[in-house]
Chain A
């Protein structure tokens, strides 16, 4: 059996030559209400052909509803879903030609692995020999060619999800929908399958929408990440932009780790730990009233100083880096240091905190809890 690494190498080789087979998708001002809750509140997103977009957000933000609307499993109160320029308002789920992998194991328990993969082809009238051939090919692609005659309950969770992926791909969908397909798996299998899905998607160039609440998954797999909150888009950007240039306080705090620190306006800049720092977006981006700055752990530097204003309160070892929590001026900030240099920062050590970010994101001050 091919290892995941070998498959990845094969897939990557094929990427450059693969034609784009995905369809463009437009979600236009979607509104969906469940009782008093507005799951989608004017949600809009445009996805290019062959693009991998992750919908990221906390539970209840509307990401799964958006995916289900696209799949045809939820009706819309208003808005439009366009695939390849065609409005799908009157197209039922079974006629949308979208492959979908679900969060819970969705293989048909009464069918073998091969029959599961071939199910969609049978519905499309393919001959038995074609179905077998295609199913075997896809199972080979996901590294499960030795399991064709098994039933779902004889497979592990990771294997089941790979079969579900093969089944979704068998119908050659132009849009692939992934509804938290990795959330039920253990960490090692999740990481392997994550790589495999991304490699396959790149090879087949299928437009893919991936729902997740795991930022690491979203950032490592997607071409673009759409961060959602309360049924609306907070920011759509590439993973690096999203992390480095979050557009809102919500994005800054949800994606990655941020520390919130009270700051004062200093003529279009802000005063932070006795330093004057540029504001991201310039003076125009500074809201009126009391302000907070949102700081990434890597935006800050810590230096041991007997007269320092900060004091190390906690240490978390992450392998290559160690995260320090430093109490300073009534707030706690998180700062990453190389683990090799972390030995001198025992809990209780007095330190100075320096800002070395080019600019910082400034937002309205959160009311004290």
Chain B
């Protein structure tokens, strides 16, 4: 016969039905406490944005004005900086995924014992400052590569490695990779076909989160681009800040919004795909 031990009931995890509801006053205090924490967090994150927006919408006389925003399209160098940043972000995503997806999948399948070593290696770009990384790479690069902006993309691949690895690893951990791969191969699929048709579609959220993190990191990276002498958006912002602070902050705000829109677009792509699948199932 099962007997209830009152001590266990009090000290252990009591079922909901037996848990006494907190008194009304205590519930009120909990709600107020939550609201206060939310308010502090909100102010902490939103106040700098508000201050920047306020400064961006002022003219030199300190009055409200859209003139800093209106003058952005005509700023010298901004268009090329924007285009360079986008190209670097795209190339970085392609190289990072092209290298990391097969490598991580192969390691998960064939050498799972290497995971701890691989994880340690992917941590290195976090502990090595970007300035050390770029100063180490520049003297050892061939001239033809040094003269190309895509050297930055190669270095960015190293920089984003920890984030890409973790996103992919978490995606791979959520599927029965070995069985799926073997099932695909037993049906006649090559390694590439298996990766393309079976692994990657089931790794979509991992790939998307790796892409989002890569884009966010590359679009905001300053140190390496500056030391390599290429004017990406962050480098342009810092350089232009010397001549017109209002326009610079307006561009920063705009780049923040643009990055946010881009990332939202990518995430919504995933959601719309999921919805399409759901509709397909329901039909």
Contact = CB atoms under 8 A, between A and B. Distances in A.
Interface of A: 71-73, 92-100, 102, 104-110, 112, 119-120, 123-124, 149-151, 154, 164, 167-168, 171, 177
Contacts of B175: 109
Interface string B165-181: 00000000001100110
B188 interface: yes
A104 B186 contact: no
Contact of A73 (B182, B187, B204): B182
Contacts of A92: 185
B280 A119 contact: no
Interface residues of B, number: 23
B189 A94 contact: yes
Contacts of A151: 277, 281
Max chain B CB contacts within 10 Å: which of A73, A106, A112? A106
Given A108-B202, A110-B202, A123 B179 contact: no
A124 B189 CA distance: 9
Contacts of B183: 100, 102, 106-108, 164, 167
Contacts of A150: 281
B278 to A, nearest CB: 9
Given A104-B179, A108-B198, A110-B201, A149 B280 contact: yes
B280 A106 contact: no
B273 to A, nearest CB: 10
A149 B283 contact: yes
A132 B187 CA distance: 17
B184 interface: yes
A94 B190 contact: yes
B193 interface: yes
B188 A106 contact: no
A284 B90 CA distance: 80
6 contacts: A99-B187, A105-B179, A108-B197, A119-B189, A149-B281, A150-B281
A95 B186 CA distance: 8
Contacts of A96: 186
Contacts of A102: 179, 182-183
Contacts of A73: 182, 185
A71 B186 contact: yes
Given A93-B185, A104-B176, 5 more contacts: A71-B186, A72-B185, A99-B186, A167-B187, A171-B187
B281 A154 contact: yes
Given A112-B280, A154-B281, A97 B188 contact: yes
B187 A119 contact: yes
A155 to B, nearest CB: 11
A72 B187 CA distance: 12
**Interface pairs A-B: 5 shortest CB-CB:** A120-B187, A110-B201, A106-B183, A100-B186, A123-B188
B281 A94 contact: no
B275 to A, nearest CB: 14
A123 B184 CA distance: 10
